[in-house]
Structure 1
Amino acid sequence: MPDYVLPTSDGQRMDIRRKLEHLGIDCSKGLEHGFAQFCRHFDCQATHPWQSLTEQAGNTFSEVFRFELDALAGAIPPATKPADLDKVYREAHDARLTALAFSGGGIRSATFNLGVVQALAELKLLHDFDYLSTVSGGGYIGGWLSKWIHHQHGDVGSVESALTAGHPELAPDNQQQPAAPEPPLTEPRPVQFLRRYSNYLTPRTGMFSVDTWTLICTYLRNTLLNMATLVAWLALLFLVPRVILQCVVPLVDERSGTLGLAAAACFLVAVGCIAFGISRRDPRPWRGVGLQGQLAVVCGVCLPLVAAGVFGSLALSQVAPDINAFWTRGEIPDTWHYAVLLAPGVCYFLAWATGWTVAQILNWRDAGPSSAPGGDGPLLRRLQAVFLMGLTHLICAMVALAVGTLLLIQLIVFASGTTHANAVRVLTFGMPILLGLFGISITLMIGLVGRLYSDASREWWARQAAWTVICAAAWLFLFGCTFYLPPLLDWAWTNYVTTTAITGALTSLLTLLGLKAGSSKSTGSAQPVRSKELVALIAPYAFSVLAIATLTTALQALVAPVASNTPLPVPLGAQPVACPQKDPCKPAPPPAQPLAELLERYTACSSTLRACLAGPRDPSLRGYTVWCPGPPMAAGTLLLCFLGIGLVLSWRVDVNKFSLYMMYRLRLVRAYFGASTPHRAPHPFTGFDAQDDPPLADMLAQQAPGPGAGRLQRPYHLVNAAINLVGGKELAWQQRKAGNFLFSPAFTGFELPRLPGSEGVRPQLRGAYRPTAMYASQESWLRDNDAGVMLGTAVAVSGAAASPNMGYHSSPPLSFLMTLFNLRLGRWSPNPMRHNVWKRPAPRFGLFSIMAELLGLTDATARFLYLSDGGHFENLGIYELVRRRCRLIVAIDASADKGNRFEDLGNAIRKCVTDFNVPIDLDASKIRALEADSKDDTKAGVCFVTGRVRYSQADGPCADGILLYIKPTIIGGENADVLNYSKLHPEFPHQSTADQFFDESQFESYRALGRHATLTALRDIASAAAGLEGKQRVEALCAALYKRAFPATAASPAPPAASPP
C-alpha cells in the first residue's frame, strides 16, 4: 500500500469511515485496518489512496466546501482533500462570504430578478457576490447571467458595465454584429433577446401558430408512448389471475391430497418463522437484520401464509361435499369430530415449538443462560418455566384453532356445479377468507395467552398482521378487478347507458380538475382541506377505477370472446334470472310515481347484480363472459405478447427524453441561454441551436488571458433541485419528503442532514458529490446526446414543478394520475453514492423508474434518483447559503404569495434551524403593500426586511449573518406603467405560476418592479460601502443593513453569542 497517513481529526476520520462502510469495508477493527483492506481490494498501488477513495465513494460536503473556499480565495485546486467541517466553518466565517439568492416562481421570478440584476449593476454591487443560488424560475435568469459572464471570459465587471451603460459594443465581444448600422440600443442584446422570447414555450402565440401545435403534438406523442408502456404492464398484471385460473380449473374437480399437504406445509413453515421471529433476542441488532427485518418477515411469514391460503382454499373446494357429509350426516362416530377440531392446534404447537427451540439455541449462544426462560435460576426452575409456557401455548392453540376450524366448516360455500364459477370464487375469495379465519384464531389465542406474551411480542403480532392484511387486500383487489369489474361495467352499460355515460363524463371532468389542482402548489400542503384539495384527492381514485374497469373488460373480450347466440349451461338447481328488458310488443306502462320508479329500479338492479355475481345463469344476462373459459392458451399467449411489448417499450422509450422534461428544457435553453450565444445559428426549421446549452462545468473558471486566467468565475452558481424521498425510511422527513440536490460547476450531488441518533452502530454515508464534468457523462454506443450535465440540464431540473413526486407537495393518488398522463417535468439521474452507476446518464430500462414514480417509492438509496423542482424542498434558495455560512445573503422571494403568508420563507427558516441549528430572526410582518387609494405617505408599502442569521448558536462565538429579504410588492413610487398594469390586473405582482406565457406589458411590469424594489432596498446601503473593497466592503454593507434594521441595538452586526431560541 502506498505510504499514506490517515488524518487525525475526528471529523475527517468519521467521513473516511462512512465512505469505507458504504463500500462494504469492515472498520470494526479500526480505521487503519479498514483503510488497508480498501487499498488491497481496490488496488491503490497505481493511484493515491485518497484519490482512489473519492473515486469510489465520492466527496462529502466538508470536502466540497473546502474546495470552494480555496477556489474563492485563489486558484482553483486540482482536487479535493480531507477536511474537517468545524475547521472549514471557521475559515468560512473569516472569508466574509456574500451571496445572492433567486427564488422559484417560473417566468415571473425570472423577469422580476432581471430587474434585480439590473439594479445591482447600477449600484455597482453585482461583482461583490461570491455565490449565486437559484431555484426553479430564478435559475432561468441565473443561468442567463452565468452564461453571459462566461462569454465575457468570466469577467462579471464587463456584464455589470454593459447592464449599466446599455451600449451594444459591451455585449459579448465576439457576438456577430449586423452588417448594416443600427440605432444605439437602450439595453444590451441579451436583455433584448429575453424580450423577444418572453413567451418562451410558444414564442409565436395563437391557436394556429406552429409553435403552439408543436407543443401539443410533442405532448401527445410522448404521452401515448408512456401510456402504451404503462398499459402493457398493467394488462400483464391483470392477465396473471387469468393464467392462474387456467392452471387451477383442472384441480377443482380433482380429488388429490397434494394441495392439502402443500397448504399444511406452508402453514407450518409460517408458524415456525413466527415463533422464531418473536423469540429471537440478538444483542447485536445489525447482525440479525437479515433474519428479523421487514423483508424476512414478509418472505418467511406472509408469503407462506398466502400460499397456504391459496392451496388450502383449493383443497377445501375439492372435498367440500365430503366435509359436509363428514360433519352433518353422521357417517362417522362423534368422537372424531373432536379429533378434527383439536388436530390443527396440535400441529400449530409443534411448529411453534420448533421455531421457538431454534431461537432459544441461538439466544443461548449469543447471550448465555440469562437469555433462556427462567433466567439464571436453577435448572429445575428453568425447566418448569419452559414446561408451563409450552403447556399454556398448547392449550390456547388447540382452543383457538378449534374455534377457527368450526368457523371454517360453517363457511364452506365454495362448491358449485360450474367448474369455472367455482374456480373464480375460490381464487378470489378463498385465500382472504382463510387468512381472516387465521387472524380470528390468533386474536383469540393471544387473548388466552394473556400476560405470558410481552408487550414486544404483541407488537410483533400486530405488525405481522398488518403485512398479512396488505397481502390479502392486494390479492382481493387484483382478482376482484380482473373477474368482477368487467361484468359490472358490461351490465351497467347495457342497462343504464345514460347513467354510465354521465358517470364517465363526470369522471373525466374530475380527472381534468384533479390534474389542474395537482399543479397547484397548495395541493399536498398542510393547509386545511378545501374544495380544490378534495377534488385532487377524489379525481385519481375515480379515474383509476374507470380505467381499470375498461382495461379488464377489454382483456376479457380478448381472452374469452363469446358469440351472442351461444347458450351457456345452467347449473343444476339454479333458476334462470334475466335482465329486465323492454318488450317492444307490449304497450308502455303508465308513468310511475318517482318513489315507486326508484324502488322498481333498485329491485331490478339488485336482482341482476346478484345474478351477475353468482355466475352464468342465462345467456340473456350481460356479463356472463366473466367465467367463460375461452381458448385454453388465450390468456397465456396474450400475457406473453404484452410482456414483449412492455419490455421493448421500457427499453426504448427513455424515461427522460419522452417526458415533458426535454420539451421544456429545449425551449427554456433557447429563450434564456441563446441570448448570449456568439454567432448563433439556429436550425432553419426548428429554431434551436445546440450552442445555446454549454456544459455546466464550463462555468467554473475564467477563460480570459492574463492574471485572472484559471480563477473561479464569480458569482459561483449553485443550482438547487430536490431529491424526492417520498418512499424514504426516515420518519422525521415524512412531511418534507425531499432533500436538496445541488448542481454546481465543480461538483454535483447531495448530502442529507444528520439526525441525532440516526446512524446507529455503523455510520452511514448520507450522500456524495461527484465532479460535474464527469457526472452522468458516459455515452452509450449510440452516442446519447443527453450525456453530461449541461447548464440547461441543471436549470430545467431545478424548475421541474409539475412532477408526480413533488417533495412535501406529494399526493399518492395524484402521483398515479400525473404519471399516467405524463405530466412529468422531473428527471431520473444517477445516484452519486453508487460508484458503478454515477456516470450513466439515465436508466437503461425505464420500467422500475416509472413504477417508482407511479407508486411514490422514490428514495435516496436507489440506483437512480428522481430530481424535481428545488421548490419541492426549499423554494427561497438560502438553504445551501446558510450551510455555507455566508455573511451577507440577499434573498429575492418572487413566489406567488398574494396573501403574504410567507410559506417559502417560513419553510426555509424551519429547515435551517432543524438541519443546521441556525435560527433566523426576521420580522416579515413589516412587509406590506401600498393601501389602495391611500394619499398618506406614512401608509406607504414596504418590500424588504432585514434579518439576522444566528450562526453563533451552531458554531459558537462568531459573527452572525445578515439576511436582506426582498419581496415583489407595490409600495408607491413605481412608474406610471407599473401602476397602470397593477390596476388592470389586481393579482399583480403575484399572478399564478401556472401562467408561463408573458406578453410584452407583463414582462416589462415585472422587470421594472424588480428594479424599483432593489433600488429602494439597497440605494442607501450601497453608498455606505463606496470606495471600499474586499472584507471591509462586506462588513460596511452588513453594518449599514444591521443599523437600519435594528437602530435601537448596537451598531455592530456581530452581536455576542446568541442564546437558545
Structure 2
Amino acid sequence: MSKPSPEQADLERKQDLVRKLDILGYKAQDDFEAALEHFRADEKLDKEDSYKLWQRLNERAGSVFSEVLQYELDAIAGRQAKLAPASLSETLHQAHERKLAGLAFSGGGIRSATFNLGVIQALAELRLLSTFDYLSTVSGGGYIGGWLSKWIKEKGGDVRAVEQELAPSGSQRAGRAEPAPIQFLRQYSHYLTPKTGMFSADTWTLICTYLRNTLLNLTMLVAWLSVLFLLPRGAAMLTEMQMLAPVSGTVVGGIAFFLMAIFFIALSISCKAPEPGQRLPQDQGTILYTICLPLIAAGYLSSIAVWQHRHELKDFWAQLPDSLFDIPQPWHLLIPGLVYFAVWAAGWGCAQYQNARFPRSEPKESHLEPNAAPLKAAEEKLHARHKLVVEGVGHLLCAIGALAVGTLLLLKGVASIPNAVLDKIDAVNLATFGMPMMLLLFGVTITLMIGLVGRMYRDESREWWARQGAWTAIFMLAWSGLFLCTFYMPPLLAWAFAEYQAQSSAGALAIVLLAWLGLRSGSSNATGRPGSSSKLELAAKLAPYAFMLIIVAILTTWLQTLAAPAPRLTAGPHPLSAFYAAYFKASMLSHGLLMPLLIYCTITAAVLGWRVDINKFSLYMMYRMRLVRAYFGASSNPRAPHPFTGFDAADDIPLHSLLHQRPDGTIQPQRPYHIINTALNLVNGEELAWQMRKAASFSMTPAFCGFEMPALPGSHGDKVPSKMLRGCYRPTSDYASRPALFKDDDALVKLGLAVAVSGAAASPSMGYHSSPPLSFLMTLFNLRLGRWSPNPLKEHKWKQSAPRIGFFSLVAELFGLTDSSANFLYLSDGGHFENLGLYELVRRRCRLIVVVDASADHKFTFDDLGNAIRKCFTDMHVPIRLNASHIETMSGPTPVGAAFVTGEINYAKADGVCENGVLLYIKPTMTGSENADLLNYRKTHADFPHQSTADQWFDEDQFESYRALGYQIAMAALKEAALKSASRLPGSPSHRIGYLAHLLLKQGEVEEPANVLPLHGGEAPKPPAPPKPSAPGVKTGEAGQQRA
C-alpha cells in the first residue's frame, strides 16, 4: 500500500474531529471552524495548544478506530504507545508494513474451547504461538483464549514461558507431567456443574439460582404488565363518569386536540426537508408526539362527547330532508371544513416562515441574458401567486366537501345507536371501540379529501399521509388489542371452558406444546440462519405468539379475579353475551379495588426495577462465575477457593492488566494481543441496510472497548447523520468502572466479563437470530445471558457499570427495542454478528490470519464462514477468496476430504497497491486418517466432531477426543506448509511463525484456488476433478490433512 499523501491524512484527521464535535453536539458539519472555536471557548483552552485541544476532545467524545489501531501498532512494536491524532489511511499503511499475524478461535461453547486447546498445543510444539500478534476470540473460543491470556499473565506476560510448559523441548520432555492448567480443565469439563447428578449441590445450586433470578425478574415484569392491563379499566371507569356527568369538557377537549393535530400536520407536511442542524417537526418521534397522540386524545374525548350528545345529534339527523339541497341551514355542514382550513392555513403559514428562515441551497444554471433575468423572476413570482390562489381555493372547497361528508357519516352512525337505557356494558364498549371508530372516521374523511385534491397534492405529500395513516392504524390496533385482552378475553375463556370443556382443554394443551417447541427451537443454533429447517423456523416463529397469548390470558384473568371477581351465573348453558354482560357489570362495580391494585403494582415494579440489578439477576453472572472458575482458575497459583462455594474472586483479572508496563514506562501488551468479540444488538436500529444483521461488532481489548460501524449516509431527518455517530472507543481501564448505585463487584471490565458476554448465546436480542415475539418469551423466562453495558458515545454514562434503574432496559429486552442510541447497550454473543473472529483481524489488515472454525456445522454449509466473508466485503470492501469445497467428513470407511484450506484476502481491492493477506482456515473434520481412538469415538458418536453446542457437559472421552483432533489437524496443516516453504526457500530464517510464516508472509505467494465461488463478481472457473483417495501415510496436497 502506497503511503497516503499529507493532504489526504490531514483531511481524514479533520473528518475525525468533525465526528467528535458532532458527538458532543457542536454541529461541526455546518461550520467546522466555528464549532471548534466554540468548543475551545467552552473548555477554556489555549488557541496555540492543538494537542491539548485534541486530548480534551478525545476525553469527552472518545477515540475513533484509526487512533485505537495506531495505539495497538505502537504497543505491539514496543514503541511508546499513547493516544494521538491518527489518519486511517496512514495507520492501515503501517499495518501492512508491519505484516501482522492473527489467530482466530470461533464460537462453539466448550466444543470450540477444547478443540482449540489442541490447536494451541500444536502451535506451542512448533514454537509458533509466540509469533502471533493478535488473538481474536468469539464465544467458546473466548473460553480457551481467556485461559491462555490468564496463564500468560501469571507468567509475567511471557508467552514463551507458556509455550515451553505446553511443549517442553529435548530432555525436559521425558517424564514430564501434563501442565497443571490443562489438568484443571479436564477436572472442570462439566464447568457449569462440576459434580453432576440429581442430588449434587452443584446441580441444585444452578437450578435454585435460575429460579431465584427468574422469580425476581418475573415479578417485576408481571407488575409492570399488570399496570398496563389495569389502565384500560381506569379508562372505562373514566368513560362511565364522563357519560353520566351533566357538564363535561369532552367536546372542547376533543376539538382542541383535533385542531392541534391538524395544525402540526399542516406544519410538517408543508415544511421542506430539513438541512443538517435545522429543528423542524418532521422526524418520526415528533410526528408521534405532536400528531398521533393528540389524534388519539381527540378520538377518545370525541367518542365520549358524541355519546353524551347522541340525542341532539339524532334529532339533527332526523330533521335532515332526503335531499341535501333542501336543508334549511346548510351552513352547519360547512363549519367543520372552514375551521379545518383556517387551522391548516395557520400551520402552512408557519411552515412558509420556517422555510424562508432556512432556505435550501438549490443551485440553478441560468442560460438567460443578464437583462432578461429580472423579467423572468417577476414572471415566476406572478405565476407562483396565481398557483397559490388556485391551490388555496381548491383545498378550501375540497376540505369543506370532505368534512361535510364526514359529518354526515358521523350523524348516520349515531342515528343507528339504539335508544336503550344506559348500562354498564356501554362504558366498556365505548372505551374499547369509541376511539378507534373516531379515528377510522377521520381516516375515511382524509382519504376522501386527498382524492378530491387529486393532482394538486405532490407525491411526497401523499406518501406523508400514507405513513401517518400507518402509525395511526398501529395505535388503533394497539388500543383495541389492549382493551380486548383486558375486558373480552377473561369472559371468553370462562364461557369456553364452561360450555366446551373438552375442546377448550385440548386447545390449551396444543398451544402450550407449541410454545414449548418454539422455546427449544428458537434458542437453538438451527434457526434464524440460512439453510435452517423450515419446520423449526415455523415453530420458532409461531410459538412465541402462542406463548404470549397464554401469558396474556393468564394475566388478564388473574387481574379480573383481583379487580372484579367473576360473577356467579345460574346453572345451565348461557350465551356468550350473558358472560360479557355479567363480567362488564362486575368490572364497573369494582371502583374501590382498582386504584389500590394499580398503586400496589406500580410500586412493586418501581422498587424491583430500582433494587434488582438487571445484569446480576439474569443468567449472565451465574454463567460468568462458572466460566471464570473453570478456565481462569486453572492458572491461579496459589488458588484459595471458598471452602463452601468453591469460587475464588482472585481467579478473574482486570482486562487492562494484560497491558504490562516496562521499567522505562512504555506499555507492552502481552502477545498475542487479545481481542474479545461481542455483538452490539440493533434489533430496533434505524439503519435500513442492517435490518437482517440486527447487530454490529463491539470489541473488548486490554486497551480499549467500543465499536465503530461502517460509514453510511444519514437518513434520519434533523438528527445528525449516522456516519457521524457510528461509534467510538473508550479506555478499558475506565470503561464501566463506576458502580451504578452502591458497591458493585461487576464494575470494571474484567477478563471474565468480556469472555462471558462474548459467549452469551441465549439472549432475547441475538443479532440476526432476533425476533420480537421470541424476545418477549425469553425475557419472561429470564433466558438472558447478555449484559447491559454503557454506551461509549454517551459522555456522562460510559463509566457507569450498569443502569441505575434496570426496569426500562428490561422492557427494551421484552419488546426487542435494543439500539445504539440508548445510554446503555445490550451486548451478547459475538457470534450473533460474526462467529469466527475474522472481522476484526481483517479490519486490522493482518497479513496472515489462521481461523479455527469449531462451530456446529455437521452439514458443512459453512454459514459462519460465508457470513464473515460477506461482512468483510460489505463493510470494508475486502474480498476473500477461499475454496472450501474439499472440506468434508467421512461417511464410510474410505478417507475423504480435507480439514484445512488456504485462501487469499484481497486487501488491494480496498487499499490500493499492497500485499494481499493469507487466510488459513481450519475446521474440525474426520477424514478417515485419524488415530484409532478418534475413529473409535466417531463410530460410537455419529455426530462427532459437530455435536450440539447445547452440550456443555463434556465427559473424559469427549474432552480428549476434541483436544486430540484439534492437535492432529493443526499439526498436519502447519507441518505440510512448513515442508513446502523449506523446499522453496531452503535455509531461510523464520522469525514469526516458523516455516509457515516464511511461506505465507515473506514470500506472499498463494496458489489460486481451482474452484472459487465468485462472491463479488467474475466468472466461476470450472470445478476440478475430485481428489483420489490416498492410502494412510500419503499426503493429499495443500488442502489436505496429513495422514496418520
TM (norm. structure 1) is 0.88
1:409-446, Cα deviation, whole Å (9 max, x unpaired): 23233865244211111111011011111111111111
Stretch deviating more after TM superposition (386-395 or 511-520): 386-395
Q: Cα gap change, 1:994/1:22 in structure 2, threshold over 3 Å: closer, same or farther?
A: same
Matched, 1:736 2:740: no
Matched, 1:25 2:29: no
1:792-847, Cα deviation, whole Å (9 max, x unpaired): 00000000000000001111110000000000000000011111111111001011
Q: How much has 1:688 moved relative to structure 2?
A: 0.5
Stretch deviating more after TM superposition (312-321 or 19-28): 19-28
Match of 1:918 among 857, 874, 878: 878
Q: Is the 8 A contact 1:724 1:807 kept in 2?
A: yes
Q: How much has 1:44 moved relative to structure 2?
A: 4.2
Once residues 423 and 102 of structure 1 are traced to their aligned partners in structure 2, the CA distance between those partners, rounded to angstroms, is: 63
Q: How much has 1:243 moved relative to structure 2?
A: 1.8
Stretch deviating more after TM superposition (287-296 or 674-683): 287-296
Q: How much has 1:611 moved relative to structure 2?
A: 3.8
Matched, 1:324 2:340: no
Q: Is the 8 A contact 1:125 1:1022 kept in 2?
A: no
What's 2:622 paired with?
663
Match of 1:943 among 895, 899, 902: 899
Secondary structure of 1:285's match? coil
Matched, 1:966 2:966: no
Once residues 671 and 117 of structure 1 are traced to their aligned partners in structure 2, the CA distance between those partners, rounded to angstroms, is: 18
Q: How much has 1:752 moved relative to structure 2?
A: 0.8
1:50-108, Cα deviation, whole Å (9 max, x unpaired): 3222211111110010001001111452x310100101111111101001000000010
Once residues 380 and 243 of structure 1 are traced to their aligned partners in structure 2, the CA distance between those partners, rounded to angstroms, is: 57
Q: Is the 8 A contact 2:223 2:602 kept in 1?
A: yes
Secondary structure of 2:198's match? coil
Q: Cα gap change, 1:663/1:368 in structure 2, threshold over 3 Å: closer, same or farther?
A: closer
Matched, 1:237 2:228: yes
Q: How much has 1:319 moved relative to structure 2?
A: 1.5
Q: Is the 8 A contact 1:702 1:713 kept in 2?
A: no
What's 1:252 paired with?
243
Q: Which amino acid aligns with 1:971?
A: T
What's 1:1028 paired with?
989
Q: Which amino acid aligns with 1:783?
A: K
Q: Is the 8 A contact 1:515 1:536 kept in 2?
A: yes
Match of 2:182 among 191, 195, 207: 191
What's 1:225 paired with?
216
Q: How much has 1:709 moved relative to structure 2?
A: 8.8
1:942-985, Cα deviation, whole Å (9 max, x unpaired): 00110000001111111000000000000132111111111111
Once residues 840 and 349 of structure 2 are traced to their aligned partners in structure 1, the CA distance between those partners, rounded to angstroms, is: 54
What's 1:432 paired with?
436
Q: How much has 1:1031 moved relative to structure 2?
A: 6.3
Q: Is the 8 A contact 1:193 1:675 kept in 2?
A: yes
Q: Cα gap change, 1:1032/1:205 in structure 2, threshold over 3 Å: closer, same or farther?
A: closer
Once residues 33 and 457 of structure 1 are traced to their aligned partners in structure 2, the CA distance between those partners, rounded to angstroms, is: 36
Matched, 1:422 2:423: no
Secondary structure of 2:728's match? strand
Once residues 118 and 495 of structure 1 are traced to their aligned partners in structure 2, the CA distance between those partners, rounded to angstroms, is: 69
Identity of aligned residues (%): 52
Q: How much has 1:653 moved relative to structure 2?
A: 0.8
Once residues 127 and 914 of structure 1 are traced to their aligned partners in structure 2, the CA distance between those partners, rounded to angstroms, is: 32
Matched, 1:723 2:723: no
Stretch deviating more after TM superposition (96-105 or 535-544): 535-544
Tell me how large the CA RMSD over aligned residues is: 3.1
What's 1:93 paired with?
96
What's 1:609 paired with?
576
Stretch deviating more after TM superposition (545-554 or 145-154): 545-554
Q: Cα gap change, 1:103/1:496 in structure 2, threshold over 3 Å: closer, same or farther?
A: same
Q: How much has 1:702 moved relative to structure 2?
A: 6.8
Query: Aligned pairs, how many?
Result: 983
Stretch deviating more after TM superposition (879-888 or 440-449): 440-449
Q: Cα gap change, 1:626/1:457 in structure 2, threshold over 3 Å: closer, same or farther?
A: farther
What's 1:406 paired with?
408
What's 1:345 paired with?
337
Once residues 421 and 29 of structure 2 are traced to their aligned partners in structure 1, the CA distance between those partners, rounded to angstroms, is: 67
Q: Cα gap change, 1:452/1:745 in structure 2, threshold over 3 Å: closer, same or farther?
A: same
Once residues 343 and 31 of structure 2 are traced to their aligned partners in structure 1, the CA distance between those partners, rounded to angstroms, is: 43
Q: Cα gap change, 1:997/1:708 in structure 2, threshold over 3 Å: closer, same or farther?
A: farther
**Counterpart mapping for 1:797-816 below 5 A:** 797-816=757-776
What's 1:1053 paired with?
none
Q: Which amino acid aligns with 1:394?
A: L
Secondary structure of 1:751's match? coil
What's 2:462 paired with?
458
1:452-502, Cα deviation, whole Å (9 max, x unpaired): 111011001101111111111111112221111121122223333333333
Secondary structure of 1:926's match? coil
Q: Cα gap change, 1:625/1:542 in structure 2, threshold over 3 Å: closer, same or farther?
A: farther
Matched, 1:146 2:149: yes
Q: Cα gap change, 1:416/1:67 in structure 2, threshold over 3 Å: closer, same or farther?
A: farther
Matched, 1:447 2:447: no
What's 1:164 paired with?
167
Once residues 432 and 414 of structure 1 are traced to their aligned partners in structure 2, the CA distance between those partners, rounded to angstroms, is: 20
What's 1:593 paired with?
none
Secondary structure of 1:203's match? coil
Q: Is the 8 A contact 2:232 2:482 kept in 1?
A: yes
Once residues 553 and 715 of structure 1 are traced to their aligned partners in structure 2, the CA distance between those partners, rounded to angstroms, is: 58
Secondary structure of 1:767's match? coil
Match of 1:642 among 592, 601, 623: 601
Matched, 1:272 2:234: no
Once residues 312 and 990 of structure 2 are traced to their aligned partners in structure 1, the CA distance between those partners, rounded to angstroms, is: 98
Stretch deviating more after TM superposition (964-973 or 291-300): 291-300
Q: Is the 8 A contact 1:414 1:422 kept in 2?
A: no
Stretch deviating more after TM superposition (901-910 or 122-131): 122-131
Matched, 1:1038 2:995: no
Q: How much has 1:275 moved relative to structure 2?
A: 1.7
Q: How much has 1:322 moved relative to structure 2?
A: 2.5
What's 1:1054 paired with?
none
Once residues 708 and 279 of structure 1 are traced to their aligned partners in structure 2, the CA distance between those partners, rounded to angstroms, is: 62
Q: How much has 1:563 moved relative to structure 2?
A: 6.3
Q: Which amino acid aligns with 2:155?
A: Q
Match of 1:511 among 506, 511, 515: 515
What's 1:701 paired with?
660
Match of 1:63 among 62, 67, 73: 67
Once residues 1010 and 817 of structure 2 are traced to their aligned partners in structure 1, the CA distance between those partners, rounded to angstroms, is: 52
Once residues 401 and 33 of structure 1 are traced to their aligned partners in structure 2, the CA distance between those partners, rounded to angstroms, is: 51
Q: Which amino acid aligns with 1:647?
A: A
Q: How much has 1:362 moved relative to structure 2?
A: 3.2
Stretch deviating more after TM superposition (209-218 or 866-875): 209-218
**Counterpart mapping for 1:537-556 below 5 A:** 537-556=541-560
Once residues 711 and 217 of structure 2 are traced to their aligned partners in structure 1, the CA distance between those partners, rounded to angstroms, is: 38
Which ranges of structure 1 fall in alignment gaps of 5 or more residues? 171-182, 566-577, 582-603, 617-622, 1050-1057
Q: Is the 8 A contact 1:252 1:419 kept in 2?
A: no
Once residues 184 and 691 of structure 1 are traced to their aligned partners in structure 2, the CA distance between those partners, rounded to angstroms, is: 32
Matched, 1:41 2:45: no
**Counterpart mapping for 1:971-1050 below 5 A:** 971-1023=927-979, 1024=981, 1028-1030=989-991, 1036-1038=998-1000, 1045-1046=1007-1008
Stretch deviating more after TM superposition (752-761 or 141-150): 752-761
Q: Is the 8 A contact 1:804 1:810 kept in 2?
A: yes
Once residues 758 and 402 of structure 1 are traced to their aligned partners in structure 2, the CA distance between those partners, rounded to angstroms, is: 39
Matched, 1:386 2:343: no
Match of 2:867 among 907, 911, 915: 907
Stretch deviating more after TM superposition (502-511 or 379-388): 379-388
Q: Cα gap change, 1:1041/1:499 in structure 2, threshold over 3 Å: closer, same or farther?
A: farther
Q: Cα gap change, 1:676/1:257 in structure 2, threshold over 3 Å: closer, same or farther?
A: closer
Once residues 648 and 205 of structure 1 are traced to their aligned partners in structure 2, the CA distance between those partners, rounded to angstroms, is: 37
Stretch deviating more after TM superposition (355-364 or 449-458): 355-364
Q: How much has 1:628 moved relative to structure 2?
A: 3.5
Secondary structure of 1:924's match? coil
TM (norm. structure 2) is 0.89
Q: How much has 1:31 moved relative to structure 2?
A: 3.8
Match of 1:200 among 184, 187, 191: 191
